[in-house]
Amino acid sequence: MFRDLSGALRARRDPEARSDRPHWAARLEDVKNTVVGGLLHRAGWDLRIQPFTGYGTTERVRILAKIRYASPGTSADHHDQPVHDMRRMAARGWRNFAGQVAPFSRVHVRLGDAEHVVQADRSGIVDAELDVDLSPGHHEAELWTDGHDLVTADVMVIGPDTRLGLISDVDDTVLVTWLPRPLLAFWNAFVTHQSNRRVVPGMAMLYQRLRRAHPDMPVLYLSTGAWNVFPVLRRFLYRNGYPDGPMLLTDWGATNTGFFRSGRAHKERSLARLSEMFPQVRWILVGDDGQHDPAIYEAFTEEHPDQVAAIAIRQLTEPEQLLAHGTLRPLRRRRGAGSGPLEVRAPDGHGLLRQLEGSEILP
């Protein structure tokens, strides 16, 4: 029953979840998870919850988390360290990919006056929408399995009067990663010291100015990165002065149709989901021209013209273009006045800020 409930919404939005017979890589991964998980359980290992920041309306919220095995004696909040705690900043990125998930684990969620029971998917990811009755603002949900592993998860509730929000890409928009070149992607994800990741100049200042101009503006970070890098990204954003907000990441594991999920499809589905959940919000869409952000944002604008306030595209430098694509890609010109929402392009946040100043976004 729980498997059917947890998969219903995802199957409706995710074509990769509709295949009758999973890809052989997914079946192999399922066997590995079953065998290794069983061995760890018999060895006395416990389940531990890694909570992610949820979001939603006053009537419905999305809860996100990951269930993993941990050695005996591991604290319940092992994966829920305070974002300001820098003790683990020296950890290499590969450590976030090590470990064993616990597929289809049952999870209890207490939020407000209600308690719910949900279930993780085959990758150990909890992704559930719950009916609630909450006030706008920040809330805390309590999550636990059938053991003694209670943790709390932040939940951002956007009120019905909120009219402006910001959705930001991460890779090469707020931090320099040079994705999707395979070797550099591997180096940045698994080897590079977390404190050595480079910030894109001026982007934090841009977001801070937007937040000051619109104090109730929610900020969400949309990335094709794996949930495994959530702690890294969250500390990076905090350390470099970015506004706090939910991160919409993805699972890098095999799917019903192939070895990896489509990053572009993940972004398109996430935008559609936000559009459906918050029809009254007009979004500032921020990305870069290194992957598919301009095309994704323009397609979303065509489908939801009343829900886009502006598009801001960070232009990669020539070296970044070469590293990301192996060739220089021609830069597309800014759309003319009267052809849709304001669109600005610049190499960094300082340039984007200058172009937004004086507009309805930053009057």
Residue type, 199: V
The pLDDT assigned to 65 comes to 97
Rounded CA separation 156/139 (Å): 6
Give me the mean pLDDT over the 241-268 stretch: 78
Is 26 in contact with 260 (CB distance < 8 Å)? no
The phi and psi torsions of 211 (rounded to 5 degrees) equal -65, -40
**Residue in the block written with tokens 């232009």:** 315
54: β partners: 155
Higher pLDDT, 191 or 221: 221
Strand locations in the chain, DSSP E? 46-51, 54-56, 60-70, 106-111, 114-119, 125-131, 137-144, 151-157, 164-168, 175-176, 198-199, 219-226, 247-250, 282-288, 308-314, 342-346
The phi and psi torsions of 321 (rounded to 5 degrees) equal -60, -45
The pLDDT assigned to 178 comes to 58
Q: What's the half-sphere exposure (Cβ side, CA atoms, 13 Å) at 47?
A: 25
Give me the mean pLDDT over the 272-282 stretch: 98
CATH fold of 164-356, please? Rossmann fold (3.40.50)
Note the pLDDT tens digit of each residue in 280-337: 999 999 999 887 899 999 999 999 999 999 999 999 876 666 655 555 554 444 444 4
Which stretch of 151-165, 172-186, 249-263, 326-340 has the lowest confidence by average pLDDT? Answer: 326-340
In sequence order, what DSSP letters do the residues of 254-281 get, joined into one string? --SSSSS--HHHHHHHHHHHHHHH-TT-
Rounded CA separation 257/259 (Å): 7
The pLDDT assigned to 290 comes to 81
Look at strands 137-144 and 106-111 and give their pairing: antiparallel
Give me the mean pLDDT over the 93-107 stretch: 79
Is 210 in contact with 74 (CB distance < 8 Å)? no
For residue 29, is it left (φ>0), alpha (ψ between -120 and 50) or beta? alpha
pTM: 0.85
The residues spanned by each domain of the chain are 2-157, 164-356
Task: Decide if pLDDT at 241 tops 80.
Answer: yes
- Output the average pLDDT for the chain: 82
* Per-range mean pLDDT, top range of 197-201, 242-246, 253-257, 316-320: 242-246
The rounded percent of the chain whose pLDDT value lies above 70 is 73
Q: With H, G, I as helix, E, B as strand and everything else as coil, classify residue 357.
A: strand
Residue 146 makes CB contacts below 8 A (sequence gap 6+) with 106
Higher pLDDT, 303 or 258: 303
Rounded CA separation 7/187 (Å): 34
DSSP 92: B
Reading the block at residue 253, the tokens are 């594991």
Q: Considering only CA atoms, which of 266, 187, 183 is closest in space to residue 227? A: 266
The pLDDT assigned to 10 comes to 44
Q: Considering only CA atoms, which of 129, 1, 112 is closest in space to residue 56? A: 129
Give me the mean pLDDT over the 257-272 stretch: 78
Task: Decide if pLDDT at 205 tops 80.
Answer: yes
Task: Decide if pLDDT at 95 tops 70.
Answer: no
Reading the block at residue 290, the tokens are 């290194």
Residue type, 200: V
Task: Decide if pLDDT at 85 tops 60.
Answer: no
Residue type, 267: K
Higher pLDDT, 77 or 172: 172
CATH fold of 2-157, please? Immunoglobulin-like (2.60.40)
pLDDT band at 4, cuts 50/70/90?
very low
H or E element: which one contains 8?
A: helix 2-13
Note the pLDDT tens digit of each residue in 5-28: 344 444 444 544 444 566 666 778
DSSP 190: I
